[in-house]
Structure 1
Amino acid sequence: MTRIKHIDGLRAIAIIAVVFYHAFPKTFPNGYLGVDYFLAISGFVISKKYFLDEDKFSFKEFWSKRITRLYPQMLA
């Protein structure tokens, strides 16, 4: 999957909004919304990957990889 430069730019803006919110909360009171934007962008990118690989997508494989990756962290 190729990178979408515009999405990277939006991701950077979201991160900067959160950093400014933490550094200057009175000046940037709505900077926390950067987290919501970042999560929405991440959801778009993940969805795009799965829609492009639609013929190869398997729920069993998806959950197997997901549990294998996340379960050890939950135990720690």
Structure 2
Amino acid sequence: MNIGSMWQDVPKMRFKSYVFVKNLTDFIFIRLFKNVKYITIKLGDTYGVNDKRNKLVKILKSQLSSNELTLKGKRKI
């Protein structure tokens, strides 16, 4: 499992080191290691230092003993 960001889809960011490594990782696992189960979760909204919203890691840790995970957000149409 890989966690990426929406920066990977911005053309002018393509050759920045972070984006390049993330896209290369996707390419390697999707194209070269086809027998390996691989998924990338792309986070579209990131957090800043003073952001008071719940963090994904905190939510996931709180659900470790449960068989179900419910995430909520605003749907953009």
Does TM, normalized by the shorter one, top 0.5? no
Instruction: Give the TM-score band, short-chain normalised.
Output: 0.3 to 0.5
Higher relative contact order (CA 8 A, sep 6+): 2
**TM-score, normalized by length of structure 2?**
0.34
Larger of the two Rg values belongs to structure? 1
Whose strand fraction is larger, Structure 1's or Structure 2's?
Answer: 2
Whose helix fraction is larger, Structure 1's or Structure 2's?
Answer: 1
